[in-house]
Amino acid sequence: MWNIYFQEVQMILTNIPIRLIFSVFTLLLLLSIAACQSQPEDQTSTLQPTIRPFNANSPDETADSGSTVSLEPTEEPTLAASPTLTPLPTVTSPVPTPTSTTEPPPTPSPPPSATFYEVQAGDALLAIAETFNVSPDALATANGYEAIEEFALIAGTEIQIPLCQVHEIVSGNTLAGIAQMCAVTLNELITYNIKSLAPLGSFDAVPVGFSLIIPQESNSPEDLDCVSQPAREQVIEYKPESGEGIYCLSQKFSVSTTTILQANIDRLGGDNVYGDTSLLIPSANGAIYQVTSDDITAGITIVALARWYELADDQILDWNGNRVEDPLSEGQQLYLPGANLIFGVYHSVVETEEGNDE
């Protein structure tokens, strides 16, 4: 059978001209060459595999070995130039300035004042006393009367009501009477008002219109010792203990309050706090004084001082109790027994050659 088929093909080929066979072969060869030259250049691009990861949750993908791997042409990436890193500026947190917690000093309240009442026609002393809850005797004392019988009400005039917070001195008032009226000790009353009383130089004649602040609480210890001390000859410095006011010191050292006041006007006034500063205490009633350059210029002598204060020459002593003689020197400390400096130390009397005072 195959022989018959082979013979038939051979007969067909024998009958085809050789020139025709050669032409067909040549045509096929040219077509092949043309087909090769017409392929696009981009088919030679490098192919990079793109692998799609398997997603078990995707309904389109399965976990078998048939996972799809596709080859897609990709261009090689071009590396961009690395950016220059500029360091950030260092930010320094500002240190907060501590806020001052010091509160400004409070605005001082205006000083309190005494209470007065204008008498109306028909007013009675007892009715006024009941209205202000004070005693008739206190009303009389507050207005300078020793007894209520002496106190006559006159319509249109003002009377002081003793509420014992502030008291304004009226004619007839005494510090002892005011202290008794307000149930405070004289020692507490004087000490509480010492800054305003000290410049007066004496407690014996407090001027009319002078305001006293009445202490509302007692600061005197129960064991306050105001017992008189033994006599001495020297001027001493003494720092008051708690509760020891000027009145207590006058009892303790057997000298008047005026003597203590006049010896310590500078130490009791100004910004000094009573009890923080030592006080000068003379050995007896009198005045202590330090000679100034003005005294020397004015020519003050022991003789002139003794005559002015009606003292013997040998009665003027120094602070240690020793007799002082002329000439005086600046800063010299003098004690003038019995002298009252309420009007200041004598500066104007200078003894002349004839022994007369100018």
Q: What is the pLDDT of residue 9?
A: 53
Tokens of 354: 């004839």
Mean pLDDT of 321-328: 89
Of all residues in the chain, the percent with pLDDT exceeding 90 is: 30
Largest CA distance in the chain: 197
Q: Give 54's pLDDT tier (boundaries 50, 70, 90).
A: very low
Separation of alpha carbons 128 and 148, rounded Å: 13
The answer, yes or no, to whether residue 113 has pLDDT greater than 60, is yes
Count of Cβ atoms closer than 10 Å to residue 242 Cβ: 9
The per-residue pLDDT for range 178-213, each reduced to its tens digit, is 999 999 998 899 989 998 888 888 888 799 999 999
Mean pLDDT of 101-130: 81
The answer, yes or no, to whether residue 217 has pLDDT greater than 70, is yes
Superfamily designation of domain 115-213: LysM domain (3.10.350.10)
Any idea where the domains of the chain sit in the sequence? 115-213, 236-337
Q: What are phi and psi of 287, to 5 degrees?
A: -125, 145
The answer, yes or no, to whether residue 239 has pLDDT greater than 90, is yes
Give the distance from CA 270 to its chain's centroid: 22
Give the distance from CA 69 to its chain's centroid: 84
| More confidently predicted of 49 and 5 | 5
Range with top average pLDDT, 27-31, 78-82, 90-94, 251-255: 251-255
| More confidently predicted of 88 and 142 | 142
| More confidently predicted of 155 and 223 | 155
Q: What is the pLDDT of residue 71?
A: 41
Mean pLDDT of 132-137: 95
The per-residue pLDDT for range 4-44, each reduced to its tens digit, is 655 665 666 566 566 666 666 677 777 777 665 655 554 44
3 state SS for 233-297: CCCEEECCCCCCCHHHHHHHCCCCHHHHHHHCHHHHCCCCCCCCCCEEECCCCEEEEECCHHHHH
Range with top average pLDDT, 75-79, 92-96, 149-153: 149-153
Q: Give 165's pLDDT tier (boundaries 50, 70, 90).
A: very high
Give the distance from CA 110 to its chain's centroid: 21
